[in-house]
Amino acid sequence: MTYRTEHDSMGEVRVPADRYWGAQTERSRNNFPIGAGRENMPEEIIRAFAVLKKAAALANRELKPAKMTAEKCDAIRQAAEEILAGKLDGHFPLVVWQTGSGTQSNMNMNEVIANRGNEIAGQKLLHPNDDVNMSQSSNDTFPTAMHIAAAEAMERTGAALTRLKDELIRLEKENANVLKCGRTHLQDATPILFSQEISGWRSSLEKDEELLKMAEKPLLSLALGGTAVGTGLNAPAGFGSLSAAKIAEETGLPFVTAENKFHALTSKDEMVFAHGALKALAADLMKIANDVRWLASGPRLGLGEITIPENEPGSSIMPGKVNPTQCEQVTMVAAQVMGNDVTVGIAASQGNFELNVFMPVCAYNFLQSARLLAESMDSFRERCVSGIQANREKMQENVERSLMLVTALSPKIGYENAAKTAQTAHREGLSLREACVKLGFLTEEEFDAAYHPEEMV
């Protein structure tokens, strides 16, 4: 590998010649090898930084035309757009486990844009700090990039959630009149329609849709313009508002500048609130996936009330075994998201004085949760939910065998006598009808007149 020499305020550093990053990126790469190649700064943050730098250059061009010349602005814009197009993906090597302010990732972006912009311009035109970072600080750019990335991630998660909800709506309509046994405490309960059971799943996701939209709103407030400690030092008046407007234009999301930059730099309560909505979604998905795998259990010795797609062999030793693997991936993802929620909460609590210094790990866990949930829901929908079929014969058999249908008799024979009927039927292997008549509580005709499972839903 060949190298070139780069300079920063601490002196000379040798940098790989085929990379656009500079001295500060290289120092971070050498000093923080933790998780290198495995836990790099999320690509969503890189993309958000590129959006931010382009918007900042355009704002500076309007507010500081003498310093941000048209030529400089155009070079920054072109380089940022190449990053957004994925053309410079190999030039962002830094890991999550770096400085807690994300300073080095901000400088990585500044250096790449400056060096690539100079190449585009054909001259030494841009300085990473003076030009690309004009009117900014790492302390306001990283939280801004966090919010851009998080809001966009919430949009993707919401879209996957809607697709899964729509599939459940289809399944609900398909099973509108299918009677089955209800269950509480994993024990038999009174009857329910399969469509009613599905409606519970669907309603959960509708509530989660509302939560995601509500939780995304605070993320649309951006710290940019606060610079080092929230005072806006070295940024022109109106820079925050103008930059936010340009970010909104670039992303299609209604970003605005934060009203209080001191809060925006140090508090990450918006991230905690938004991740709480992701955790709520994870909890609902855990419940739905568990219901599906219980209902599909067997196929002969379990409940067996539904069938799900047989996607791959389930055992290396038991021939013909098929497992509910899509349900398992959903529940594992849900467990990961719940763990991430703890990390996000702890990270957000570390806003000491004028800056939070746990931002990279906060962003990393948040974005992982959003991405995993979106991909998990799409896979679950496509490879499991779309192929769910009700085993109507098994459902009907279970309804007929359920002792809890005795609840329909309570208004006629009373709770205690209904309990005795169920206990006798279970103990002696009788039907409810046989037990009730044997105990003398009702005649066969009276039992038949009172016993209508289809009317119990």
Catalytic residue ranges: 185, 315
Q: What would the DSSP string read from start to end of 170-239?
A: HHHHHTTT-EEEEEETTEEEEEEEHHHHHHHHHHHHHHHHHHHHHHHGGGGEE-TT-TTTSS-TTS-TTH
- Tally of helices (H runs) and strands (E runs) in the chain: 16, 10
Q: Are the beta carbons of 265 and 139 closer than 8 angstroms?
A: yes
Pairing of strands 3-8, 11-16: antiparallel
CA distance 244 to 40: 27
The count of other CB atoms within 10 Å of the CB of residue 67 is 14
Q: What angle do CA 32, 35, 40 make, to 5 degrees?
A: 90
3-state secondary structure at position 364? helix
The crossing angle, in degrees rounded to 10, of helices 23-31 and 103-121 is 140
What phi, psi does 204 have (nearest 5°)?
Answer: -60, -45
Q: Are the beta carbons of 380 and 308 closer than 8 angstroms?
A: no
The CA-atom distances, in angstroms, between 187 and each of 129, 183, 191 are 66, 5, 12
Strand partners, 11: 8
Q: Are the beta carbons of 140 and 225 closer than 8 angstroms?
A: yes
